[in-house]
Chain A
């Protein structure tokens, strides 16, 4: 295996592991951004993640149903463009609290000056 192949295989293996569980954060961020229906959530996630995150509609629906069952997400129905009524999802109070605490404990670390410099700084 040449070095280029090794590099790409290692990178995709790392990214695959890294992305697992990230969909929740992206969905929560998209809902923090405002109420959205499923396709808007998908577009937000894909665009804002520079298409590194790809999500299928069916899988999104399944995830949202789980979150709704847990009480972190809820929806209200609103008018669609031309078709039937759409479900507009939003974060509940519990969902907001969960996201804030998660970011504080796991994401804010990367904004620490020293770590931020290490991430930005080139070798």
Chain B
């Protein structure tokens, strides 16, 4: 199955930029104890991700309707967000109020969710030929 599509790559680029900006904002606001701004940047970050996921996901489906119940995008999101977070700590860019344990906790719990998604993806894949839904190939 063609997993890494053009639109997924675009999504990954935008998502990485978003994750870096979010991490920067989060660390800066926490360092300056501007807690209300932390909420604002978190909400903006949520809507930004929702928008790019919607936009590139829709385009991806229109180009080639791979039937993966969103798993490729979810997996890419998980990988990129956690990589950016770990690197943020490795390069010592975090605030004094952040702990790498939080990053690992998020990766663990999100990972469980991702694993459940993966199981559903494997089930959905049974109804596909080369990643395309059998019922939609000749419709």
Q: Using a CB–CB distance below 8 Å, which chain A residues touch chain B?
A: 20-21, 24, 62, 65-66, 69-71
Contacts and interface: CB of A to CB of B under 8 A. Distances in A.
Interface size class of B (residues with CB under 8 A): 10 to 19
The interface residues of chain B, by DSSP majority, are classed as: loop
Nearest to A72: B137
A71 B2 CA distance: 12
A62 B130 contact: no
A70 B132 contact: yes
A77 to B, nearest CB: 18
Given A24-B138, A62-B65, A65-B64, 16 more contacts: A20-B139, A21-B138, A21-B139, A62-B62, A62-B63, A65-B63, A66-B64, A66-B65, A66-B132, A66-B137, A69-B64, A69-B131, A69-B132, A70-B129, A70-B130, A70-B132
A70 B64 contact: no
A65 B130 CA distance: 13
Interface string B97-139: 0000000000000000000000000000000011110000111
